[in-house]
């Protein structure tokens, strides 16, 4: 009985195990969304905008982000994003609280035409760069701030359940390795 409880606690609280499960879920999502039929079109047309709201999962808090993408080519989007996360941890007898705010720009290549994926699905990968500000408070001491440059990459999939609305799953490197789940609205 103790072993079963330990296994359940470990599988839910181990960040590495959570990441493995989310990677498996993403791969399953992408494979299930790859149809063998149909001529693909770009998910976002040149000049079209897409608003994204995202909640992330990582070992460094739960990031919440809002972003806007612009179609600059039938296969390429550029965008911007603002993110916020807050978390606490104990280390060597001290308690720390972190508040991290980030601003990123990104570029993505959408594989729909190349792989002939229908337009209600979107498979993409790209790069991001941005700045993030970390405010760190240690119990009993003064706080300090740091502003740093972040460079990363992402891969994701999106399913549009209507003409304008979709859900997406993304794996990437921002402030930390994370999996992200969100909703998108193109207009």
Tokens of 154: 């992402």
Total number of domains in the chain: 1
Q: For residue 3, how many C-alpha atoms fall within 13 Å in the half-sphere facing its CB?
A: 0
What integer pLDDT is reported at residue 38 of this predicted model?
37
What integer pLDDT is reported at residue 10 of this predicted model?
40
Range of the domain at 39: 2-186
Higher per-residue confidence, 143 vs 69? 69
The size of the chain, in residues, is: 187
**Region of 123 on the Ramachandran plot (φ > 0 left; ψ -120 to 50 alpha; else beta):** beta
Domain with residue 114: its CATH number is 2.40.160.20
Strands 165-173 vs 144-160: parallel, antiparallel or unpaired: antiparallel
Q: Is the dihedral of CA 167, 169, 170, 174 positive or negative?
A: positive
Higher per-residue confidence, 35 vs 178? 178
Q: What is the pLDDT of residues 96-139, one digit of tens each?
A: 999 999 999 999 999 999 999 998 999 999 999 999 999 999 88
């Amino acid at each position: 009985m103790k072993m079963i409880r330990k296994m359940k606690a470990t599988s839910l609280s181990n960040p590495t195990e959570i990441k493995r499960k989310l990677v498996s879920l993403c791969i399953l999502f992408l494979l299930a969304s790859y149809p063998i039929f149909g001529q693909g079109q770009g998910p976002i047309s040149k000049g079209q905008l897409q608003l994204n709201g995202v909640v992330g999962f990582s070992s460094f808090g739960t990031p919440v982000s809002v972003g806007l993408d612009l179609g600059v080519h039938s296969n390429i989007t550029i965008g911007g994003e603002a993110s916020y996360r807050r978390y606490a941890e104990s280390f060597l007898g001290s308690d720390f609280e972190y508040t991290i705010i980030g601003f990123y720009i990104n570029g993505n290549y959408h594989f729909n035409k190349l792989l002939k994926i229908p337009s209600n699905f979107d498979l993409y990968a790209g790069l991001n760069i941005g700045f993030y500000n970390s405010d760190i408070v240690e119990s009993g001491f003064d706080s300090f701030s740091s502003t740093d440059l972040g460079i990363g990459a992402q891969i994701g999939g999106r399913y549009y359940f209507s003409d304008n609305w979709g859900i997406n799953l993304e794996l990437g490197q921002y402030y930390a390795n994370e999996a992200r789940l969100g909703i998108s609205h193109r207009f």
